[in-house]
Amino acid sequence: MDHENQDIPQSGQGNDPREVVLRYEAPVTPIVERYIQPTPLPGQPKKNVPRKKRKGLKIFLFCMLGLLIVSGIVTALWLGGAFGGYHSYHDDDFEQRHNEDYYDSTDSGETTIKRLPNTDKVKLRYNESHGEALTIQEIYQKVNPSTVTVLTGNRDGSAMVGTGVIFTEDGFILTNAHVIAGGSECYVVLDTGEDYRACLLGLDEEKDLAVIKIAASGLPAAEFGDSDALTVGDPVYAIGNPLGVELRGTLTDGIVSAINRDVLVDGVNMTLIQTNAALNNGNSGGPLINVYGQVVGINTMKMGSSSTTSVEGLGFAIPISSTAYMINDLIAYGEVHGEVMIGISVKPAPVTAENGESALLVMEVTPDGPGNEAGIQEGDLIVEADGEALTKSTDLLRVRRRHEAGETLKLLVERDGRRFTADVVLRESDT
């Protein structure tokens, strides 16, 4: 850490306590693995090697015998100290997988993965309810079959390795945009080892979300849950492919360290779930899971160590509840449109209506917005939304997120002791 500006008292100075300020800068990096392909990606044709005649076997055996003799001589010389200062080429010639500069999200290039026609017939839905809490083993058995390896081939011969989550039985898969951005081809490997070529529905690099699809049926789709219901300290779990394909299907656990954490990434502010569940390169696009076996987030990045700061256990995931509409936009349009809005702002803490019910106080109404057109005014109390009681501002947000642009949200409004229903026709926001 940088210990500048500590103002430590010098000898002979007063003994008044002084403020100590610790300053640090820790890089936030996407957790995607890059490697130089040792073999073709799944589905790519392998080179045909002609069958050798039997005399090739004899040549091979003679060569092996010569190699053994030479190896014996070299070993004897090495033991005698003849190669005292020699370093193996393995020390330097292999690519460093964990160099923080290996991935540059600002220069991903054009993504040329084959695109599929967009559709409004498929949507990602999340459940606001849940069953009984599961054991760790049950969570893994439930979610691991829905977790896939995503391999993206780049034009320079390298490949990006990330993770994805199946959300429909016919092969729609959610992952991070940075896993596939700039790629020319994409493959998905199921937990069974089966591989498929994937096509692209849509991606948004700023939101770091992408939807891809494989031609398959009967797949185990994950259950998605309400990330707004998370609280600090809740147990969470992550499944992914840390450090590439060799360790795919790795389960780690931790807790929710913070919710609604604003993180600045490449000049873009993202509101994320913070967790101390271990996330490593290759976990990008994988599920963050609650105790009910529901996917509540998509793991996207971690805060790494710098030359002055040692960092551990700072991972981040994209919350499902606040981004479900973005995911559905990617499916329907190939890009993210604006979020639907009511056009009002309410006080975060509830107030009490005349009959003792909890309600939300309207603080501001957007001129010519949907709420204004429905007759809502500043100072009104919103008691219900679509028939559901409102005990906090996030309750209204949760109901609103169930709707799309053009649909009607019914609000029970109280004004001066009188109640009426306001039919709010939702519109997309301009941002």
How far, in Å, CA of 133 to CA of 292, rounded?
5
Nearest Cα residue to 30 out of 158, 232, 175: 175
Query: Given pLDDT bands bounded at 50, 70 and 90, which one contains residue 421?
Result: very high
Catalytic residue list: 178, 208, 284
Listed in sequence order, the DSSP H helices in 80-212 are 136-143, 177-180
Over residues 163-178, the mean pLDDT reads: 97
Q: Would the pLDDT of 395 be above 50?
A: yes
Give Cβ neighbours of residue 107 (< 8 Å, ≥ 6 apart): none
- The pair phi, psi for residue 46, each rounded to 5°, is -90, 150
Look over the chain and give the mean of its residue pLDDT values, rounded to a whole number: 80
Confidence (pLDDT) at 296: 98
In this prediction, what percent of the chain has a pLDDT beyond 70?
A: 72
Longest CA–CA separation in the chain, Å:
100
Confidence (pLDDT) at 28: 60
Over residues 10-30, the mean pLDDT reads: 50
Query: Given pLDDT bands bounded at 50, 70 and 90, which one contains residue 407?
Result: very high
Q: Would the pLDDT of 7 be above 90?
A: no
Q: Tell me: the pLDDT tens digits for 258-292? A: 999 998 877 788 999 999 998 877 889 999 999 99
Confidence (pLDDT) at 431: 58
Query: Given pLDDT bands bounded at 50, 70 and 90, which one contains residue 27?
Result: low
Over residues 296-313, the mean pLDDT reads: 72
Confidence (pLDDT) at 244: 63
How far, in Å, CA of 337 to CA of 328, rounded?
10
Nearest Cα residue to 187 out of 288, 286, 113, 118: 113
Confidence (pLDDT) at 372: 95
Over residues 224-228, the mean pLDDT reads: 96
Q: What predicted TM-score, i.e. pTM, was given to this entire model?
A: 0.73
Q: Under the phi-then-psi rule, with left for phi > 0, alpha for psi from -120 to 50, and beta for the rest, what region is 19?
A: beta
